[in-house]
Amino acid sequence: MTQGAASQAVQHLEEYLDVQLIDRSKRPFVLTSEGEKFYDGVANLLRQFDSLVDQVQVGDEVVSGEVNVGAIYSLGLSYLPAIQERFNSQFSAASCVVKMAHPHDVYRMVEQGSVDFGVLSYPEASRTLLVTHWREEPMVLVASPRHRLCNHSRLSVTDLAEVALVAFAPKLPIRLAIDRHLRSLGVSMRVVVELDNVDSVKHAAIVNSGLAFLPKPTIENELAAGSLRLLNCSEVNMTRPLGVIQRRDVPLGRAARGMLELLLQDAVHSEASQCEAVPFANDNLNEGSSNASSPSSNPKAVDGGSTVFAANDKRKSQTAV
């Protein structure tokens, strides 16, 4: 469509709905709250229609269509490009688009139907969302080679007492898990900076020579380059659960099922999948169950300390981790 035809179509739609869908006072244009709601709703309707067409055309062996996957940044930049490439190779008539966003936006996109499914850490099941366990990432303690503790071949938890820590932002699930683990070890570390994503924590640990807890797969390049080193502390034993969320009431089309199967197969063949798995609500890729619940590893409310988890604002506090 030409720009004029598209503008006229939107104007007709706004007149029909009697609301403003686009804020034209900003450059580039942005959707109004009504526009976002309408867009997400229509995207959900179209996705359900595509799913219905897919079920009717069961005799067609060619898998086609577009798969939309929502992902947090650390996963969209690490695991998904290789899986996306395998998908494009295996299903040449289909396409896959990865939309990276903050965790609360991944939940929103899945709930409102603008993506087929989402991939994120510390996933939560709900009445509308089904969670499938994907993998457990080992969490490791790292530091800049300049840090004095890098000279130790083995550390005890007492060596970590009051050592400078580059931490994740308060109320992030990963921060809550780290705080809880340190409390279980009876260790108090000195937080010198709080950041809201993996890349920022890595960079700060390198520049500021502080310690940091990070998922091991996210620091392979830094370990290979020598900008970060692993610290050997046997008492530190943590993992970061990763999972897939999808709508319970909308079955996945064949293309989306193909992408999800490749995603789950990737974990089977990875080193991270050897960690102890955390049971999630249901392993069925399309159907939910009435007795599904949140992962047993979800952070719970804790007393004491400076970080208290509040279930009601968990999604609002999550950012790019």
pTM: predicted TM-score of the whole model, two decimal places:
0.68
Distance of CA 130 to the CA centre of its chain: 15
CA distance 51 to 32: 28
Q: What is the rounded distance in angstroms from the CA atom of residue 33 to the CA atom of residue 30?
A: 10
- Residue 257 included in any domain: no
| 182 inside domain | yes
Residue (of 56, 116, 101, 124) closest to 309 by Cα position: 124
Residues 167-224 have pLDDT tens digits of 999 988 899 999 999 999 999 999 999 998 899 999 999 998 789 999 999 999 999 9
The answer to the question of residue 142 being in a domain is yes
Asked if the structure places residue 46 within a domain, the reply is no
pLDDT digits (tens, 9 = 90+) for 258-273: 999 999 998 766 644 4
Question: Please, which residues bridge with residue 139 across strands?
Answer: 215, 238
Domain range for 143: 138-239
Domain contains 297: no
**Total structural domains within the chain:** 1
CATH code for the domain in which residue 209 is found:
3.40.190.10
Residue 316 lies inside a defined structural domain of this protein:
no
The pLDDT confidence band at residue 274, using thresholds 50, 70 and 90, is: very low
Give the amino acid at 9. Answer: A
pLDDT at 7 over 70: yes
Report the percent of the chain where pLDDT is more than 90.
58
Radius of gyration over every alpha carbon of the chain, rounded to an integer in angstroms: 22
